[in-house]
Amino acid sequence: MKLLLDTHLLLWAAGQPDRLSKTARELIEAADNELIFSTASLWEIVIKRGLGREDFQVDARLLRRGLLDNGYRELPIGSEHVVAIDTLPPLHKDPFDRILIAQALVEGITLLTTAETVARYPAPLRAV
């Protein structure tokens, strides 16, 4: 199964695996799952680190390299993803979450998320 991890799951998988739920850990560790991260997550990390957010104090360059070295596939943001945001109901205003949801819809992949607000969208996602 192709799994797009939300930003918090990426951060936890890379640096704080003890914060992952049992379900999230099992899905991430399953050899038959293809793990994917979005450039939107790196963008979010850079912006929120620059704002001084304590939960985003990681070097995005090092995180990206580590994810790629550990078999994750990078999903760039394309115009198809951007225009798909317009089809989403207004359940949540976070632009980073909304682009991840749109990417999951367009690509037909499952978004793994820790956010309850994201889990309310009619999209291929799984709250963990």
**Portion of the chain with pLDDT greater than 70, in percent:** 100
Average pLDDT, the chain: 95
Helices 60-69 & 39-50 angle (0-180, nearest 10): 150
Distance, C-alpha 31 to centroid of its chain: 19
Residue 58 predicted with pLDDT over 90: yes
Regarding pTM above 0.85, the answer is yes
- Summarised one tens digit per residue, pLDDT across range 2-22 is 999 999 999 999 999 999 999
Residue 29 predicted with pLDDT over 90: yes
**DSSP collapsed to 3 states, the chain:** CEEEECHHHHHHHHHCHHHCCHHHHHHHHCCCCEEEEEHHHHHHHHHHHHCCCHHHCCCHHHHHHHHHHCCCEEECCCHHHHHHHHHCCCCCCCHHHHHHHHHHHHHCCEEEECCCCHHHCCCCEEEC
